[in-house]
Amino acid sequence: MIDTRINRRSVLAGGLATAGLAALVGCTPAQSSETRTLQFWHLLSGGDGITMQGMLDRVNASRSDFRVRPTVLAWGAPYYTKLAMAGAGGRAPELAVMHSSRVPGYVPGGLLDPWDVDLLRELGVDESTFTDPVWNASVVDGELYSVALDAHPFIALFNRDICDEAGVLDSSGQLMRPDSPDGFLDMCREIAGVTGERALSYGFIGDGQQMWRLFYTLYCQHGTQMEFPPGGNIEVDEDAFIASLEFMHELSDGEIASQRGTIDSAVAEFAAQRTGIHFTGVWELPPMQDAGVPVGATMIPNIFGTEAVYADSHSFVLPHQMNPDEQARSDTYSVVAELLKGSLAWAGAGHIPAYLPITEDEGYSDLTPQSDYAEAADYLVYDPVAWFTGSGSNFVLQFGQIVGSAITSGSGYDEALEDFRSYVNGLLAQPNPANPQGDLS
Amino acid sequence: MTDLMAERTADGSQAQAGPDRKASGAAPPTRRQASRRGQLVAWAFLAPFMVAFVLFVIWPLIHGIYLSMTDQSLTGAGGSFIGFENYSEALADPVVWTSIGNTVWFTLITTVPLVVVALVMALLVNTGLPGQWLWRLSFFMPFLLASTVISQIWVWIFNPDIGAANDILATFGIEPVAWLQTANLDLISIAIATIWWTVGFNFLLYLAALQNIPDLQYEAAAIDGAGRWRQVFSITLPQLGPVTGVILILQMLASLKLFDQAYQMMDGGSSETSRPIVQYIFEAGFVGYRFGYASAISYIFFVLILIVGLFQVIVLSRRKGKS
């Protein structure tokens, strides 16, 4: 009795499973024989994701021989873990998006395949179609490992109405660009006089990434950049390091900017038009426009003497494939070229398209306030090159741990510098975990 | 009370031993065959689980020990045997110890309120507040939320600039606090959110236990002249002893595993005073790609939990022995 019941069930279950399997097997070849599918991983969500999907739709509509299938993953450490594992397995997606600053850490482990520069040139993509900082950030050990889609710098958004009332706009309606720390603080006090609250929205509390973005902008404005030589010691300008932290403390005094601003509260504050300036990434521009803020945008004023804009780039990379399919590779190249040529749409999301023919185009100069900060592309600074740096890395989080209390308390700068130095030197002495047996690079 | 328990377990074990004794005693051969077939069927039913158990629990456990002695990278590189190097590095790594300290501290500051608050809530509801279902529902509801949801809610409540928590403090004239961004306070804030989130489950366990206490005990006590408080301390609380034991153990296990809400409330970042050990293992393995090292830390943590577990067993059994 029991036996028969079990049999009937197992027969039923087995039948269903077989039918399901047959259905699966049946549908796969049909699809792949007609149009080839290109797997594309990216980390662009929200407004960025919608824009990217639109660009992909246009590429897909123009081609019948292949179809790009995007997989969207949440950005941050988990994305890079997944991408690394895919590359390690050698059966990675054909194409992926990475932050340029993370590329150097990936290359020594053999997780990425280099781009064929000649093939790209045939498609109209070469060194001359990018600014120097963008191109240089794409080259690792003399090979091109990433093709930048954009640069997304850390900039200053401003509220035109509030800043106009405070008299801090120039004749062309742009935010004035004071050339000294005190000049900037004075300008902020004018704005605070109008808002009756604070002048500047800048969220940083407990957020190493946000602290690093502004800090490194200010640090590089001193005309210097940090060097992280593998196996050696950090090269850091002590005066620039401390002056940058001091200025960040002066900003977050509770009157110019909040002493406890988080990235969320800063967005909320500026969107509610309670402040005149917002230090943030370009990606916050569209949400502010949607919120009805009369928003302008400009580079963070050059207050320490040298123009510098901290940025990162979304870049196309070829995750390592053990046996790359030649046809798929060549499809991938044409997808990237077409995406670059269609990246005017990408500018709508706030980013500066990396492909120069786009930013030199009239369509782009008509796009304001995006074109107001296009100049930033010439002054970009990326993270110091090392295996441990880059967006979403432990390094930026740890930076926040090290300098956080110095910024809020206005003391202990020397200790912060020493802690930072020994932290970085410790990392420099370790091999890249993506390649533990390699030399220290 | 404990005697009663002992009797009950004795009964239980007798009941279990019963059929066995019959089967092995004067059973004819046919019955033995039947029982062997029964065993086969039992194994057949167990097999799917056993396969999954061995594949996903036992094998990773063994493989992990091997991994912990290699410099295996998540990216597939490395993998050569390096003996106990990872262990000596981990034992000397201050972050390992501060993270373990954080996890233990979190366990302490959540377990006690999770027992006491749940008990008070259950007692209140059980005294017959009007609208019992509403209380039950609202106390239990947070537990149904995903950790992602409660993390988002509490990140906003704890926002130092525009959060509700500081608004409440402000009505009492207290200066605003950076809940999740201040050293030492961050873990306490995570604990507050966790208590709000999970206390409902313990509340439900307590409520069920309370409703299981026979009314006649209270009646007898009332006849003997015991007041309300006397009844709570002499009947209710002692009767809740076993369920408190269960809650304590569940709570300790849950708290030692702390990761989800801490990771999400700190937005993937971490501070020296809030990073739980599980997060450090995650950071070492999945962010830093050092699988070998991450495995070594997890085994160190594993051994520590094992010691705590053994200690618990010894203490419990000694207490039982005394009574």
Tell me how far apart the alpha carbons of residues A352 and A347 are, in angstroms, rounded to a whole number.
6
**Is B160 close to A111, i.e. CB distance below 8 A?**
no
Q: Please check whether the two domains, A36-149+313-378 and A154-309+385-428, share a CATH topology.
A: yes
Q: Which of A81, A400, A436 sits opposite B287 (nearest CB)?
A: A81
- Stretch B17-22: mean pLDDT: 44
A400 to chain B: which residues are within 8 Å by CB?
Answer: 269
Q: How far is CA B153 from the centre of its chain?
A: 22
pLDDT digits (tens, 9 = 90+) for A91-122: 899 999 999 999 998 888 788 999 999 999 99
pLDDT digits (tens, 9 = 90+) for B249-262: 888 888 999 999 99
**Residue to test with chain B: of A202, A260, A407, A423, most B Cβ within 10 A:** A260
pLDDT digits (tens, 9 = 90+) for B136-192: 899 999 999 999 999 999 999 999 888 999 999 999 999 888 898 888 899 999 999
Tell me how far apart the alpha carbons of residues A240 and A216 are, in angstroms, rounded to a whole number.
10
B81-100: b (≥16 Cβ within 10 Å) or e: ebeebbbebbeebebbebbb
> Closest residue of A to B271, CA-based?
A401
B22: confidence class by pLDDT, cuts 50, 70, 90: very low
Tell me how far apart the alpha carbons of residues B274 and B270 are, in angstroms, rounded to a whole number.
6
> Closest residue of B to A84, CA-based?
B75
- Stretch A180-207: mean pLDDT: 94
Percentage of chain A beyond pLDDT 90 is 73
**Domain B68-322's class?**
mainly alpha
Does pLDDT of A28 surpass 80? no
Does pLDDT of A137 surpass 70? yes
Bridge-based pairing state of the strands A380-381 and A352-353:
unpaired
**Is B159 close to A264, i.e. CB distance below 8 A?**
yes
Mean pLDDT of chain A: 89
Lowest mean pLDDT among A40-54, A288-302, B89-103, B302-316: B302-316
Give the fold, CATH level 3, of A154-309+385-428.
D-Maltodextrin-Binding Protein; domain 2 (3.40.190)
**CB neighbours of residue A232 within 10 Å:** 12
- Stretch A193-215: mean pLDDT: 94
| CA proximity to B214, closest of B235, B197, B193 | B235
Lowest mean pLDDT among A7-21, B20-34, B38-52: A7-21
Does pLDDT of B302 surpass 70? yes
Does pLDDT of A324 surpass 70? yes
ipTM: 0.71
Tell me how far apart the alpha carbons of residues A372 and A340 are, in angstroms, rounded to a whole number.
21
pLDDT of the residue at B76: 78
Percentage of chain B beyond pLDDT 90 is 50
Alpha helices in A149-277 (DSSP H): 160-165, 181-195, 208-220, 238-251, 263-271
DSSP H or E stretch at residue A298: strand A295-298
B9: confidence class by pLDDT, cuts 50, 70, 90: very low
pLDDT of the residue at A13: 53
Tell me how far apart the alpha carbons of residues A188 and A253 are, in angstroms, rounded to a whole number.
12
**Residue to test with chain B: of A112, A267, A397, A408, most B Cβ within 10 A:** A397
Q: Which of 3.40.50.1110, 2.40.160.210, 3.40.190.10, 3.40.309.10 would CATH assign to domain A36-149+313-378? A: 3.40.190.10
Structure tokens belonging to residue A320: 């390592």
Tell me how far apart the alpha carbons of residues A93 and A95 are, in angstroms, rounded to a whole number.
5
B186 to chain A: which residues are within 8 Å by CB?
Answer: 206
pLDDT of the residue at A7: 56
Structure tokens belonging to residue B127: 């005294």
Q: What is the residue extent of each domain of chain A?
A: 36-149+313-378, 154-309+385-428
Does pLDDT of A126 surpass 70? yes
**Is A268 close to B162, i.e. CB distance below 8 A?**
yes
Q: Which of B160, B178, B290 sits opposite A433 (nearest CB)?
A: B290
pLDDT of the residue at A143: 94
**Is A269 close to B161, i.e. CB distance below 8 A?**
yes
pLDDT digits (tens, 9 = 90+) for A29-42: 444 456 899 999 99
Interface contact B244, partner A, CB < 8 A: no
Q: Which of A88, A261, A401 sits opposite B75 (nearest CB)?
A: A88
Interface contact B161, partner A, CB < 8 A: yes
A332-357: b (≥16 Cβ within 10 Å) or e: bbbbbbbbbbbbbebbbbbbbbbbeb
Mean pLDDT of chain B: 86
**Residue B253 C-alpha, separation from nearest chain A C-alpha, in angstroms:** 26
DSSP H or E stretch at residue B24: helix B2-24
pLDDT of the residue at A10: 55
B316: confidence class by pLDDT, cuts 50, 70, 90: confident
pLDDT of the residue at B250: 86
Query: What type of residue is B71?
Result: D
Quick check: bond before A369 cis, omega within 30? yes
Backbone angles phi, psi at A314, to 5 degrees: -80, 125
Does pLDDT of A63 surpass 70? yes
Alpha helices in A35-64 (DSSP H): 46-62
Contact A251, A202 (CB under 8 A): yes
- Stretch B90-109: mean pLDDT: 94
